[in-house]
């Protein structure tokens, strides 16, 4: 049993060291391990990091129990497995789960472009493609665009996205000066008379 403990401890430590040294290269290995663990996943509890940490702690606890306690093989394995499982769950609850919940996504769907305003970055010919600049949240995006009504849209013209084509091209229309003005959004002022 000592060999299995050493294998778990050494393998976990080696994997952790490789993870630190070759962070980007091991992403594929972690995804493969994550796929294998998904078969046993109960409500997102198991993940590769927690699993490897649990195996490492199992190996270390087994070696300590075998060397210093001498309970016998079965009790040692049960206790080492329990310590490894508790460690894996604790790591998941204290570190992995909060980190996953704190991840932000700046992604957005193509459908969210409809109604957004921007500016023609390059001229959009009547029957061709150009480029527009549209702000999406804190991001500025450059997108391929075509004229919605088939009219020429010169560069630097304020535009509005009317539709998104199936291929992802934004169909845009030019904004007139009144439509683009902040005053156009405000309701007209009314003259109040005291009667």
Is residue 189 over pLDDT 90? no
Is residue 4 over pLDDT 50? yes
pLDDT at 44: 57
Return the DSSP state at 172. Answer: E
Is residue 194 over pLDDT 80? no
Is residue 180 over pLDDT 80? no
Q: In the predicted model, what is the mean pLDDT of residues 53-61?
A: 90
For the chain, the domains span 2-102, 110-183
Is residue 184 over pLDDT 50? no
When comparing pLDDT for 107 and 136, which is higher?
136
When comparing pLDDT for 121 and 21, which is higher?
121
Angle formed at CA 161 by CA 155 and CA 165, multiple of 5 degrees: 105
Supply the mean pLDDT for the chain.
79
Q: Locate tokens 């490492």: which residue?
A: 56
Q: In the predicted model, what is the mean pLDDT of residues 74-95?
A: 89
Least confident of 22-31, 122-131, 133-142: 22-31
Residues of the chain with pLDDT > 70, as a percent, come to 72
Per-residue pLDDT band at 32 (split at 50, 70, 90)? low
pLDDT at 102: 67
pLDDT at 105: 56
Q: In the predicted model, what is the mean pLDDT of residues 176-192?
A: 51
pLDDT at 123: 92
Q: For the chain, give the number of residues.
A: 195
pTM exceeds 0.95 for this model: no
The tokens for 46 are: 């198991």
Q: In the predicted model, what is the mean pLDDT of residues 144-156?
A: 92
Is residue 181 over pLDDT 60? no
Q: How many CB atoms lie within 10 A of CB 149?
A: 11
The tokens for 146 are: 């075509």
CATH of domain 110-183: 2.40.50.140
154: left (phi over 0), alpha (psi -120 to 50) or beta: beta
């Amino acid at each position: 049993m000592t060999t299995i403990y050493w294998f778990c401890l050494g393998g976990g430590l080696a994997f952790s060291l490789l993870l630190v040294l070759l962070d980007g290269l091991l992403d594929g290995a972690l995804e493969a391990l994550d796929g294998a663990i998904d078969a046993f996943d109960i409500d997102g509890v198991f993940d590769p990091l927690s699993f490897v940490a649990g195996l490492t702690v199992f190996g270390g606890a087994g070696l300590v129990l075998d060397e210093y306690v001498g309970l016998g093989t079965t009790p040692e394995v049960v206790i080492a497995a329990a310590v490894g499982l508790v460690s894996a769950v604790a790591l998941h609850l204290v570190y992995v789960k909060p980190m996953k919940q704190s991840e932000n996504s700046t992604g957005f769907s193509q459908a969210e472009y409809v109604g957004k305003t921007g500016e023609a970055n390059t001229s959009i010919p009547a029957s061709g493609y150009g480029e527009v600049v549209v702000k999406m949240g804190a991001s500025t995006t450059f997108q391929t665009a075509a004229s919605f009504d088939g009219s020429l849209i010169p560069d630097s013209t304020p535009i509005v996205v009317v539709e998104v084509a199936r291929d992802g091209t934004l169909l845009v229309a030019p904004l007139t000066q009144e439509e683009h003005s902040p005053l156009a959004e405000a309701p007209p002022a009314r003259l109040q008379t005291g009667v």
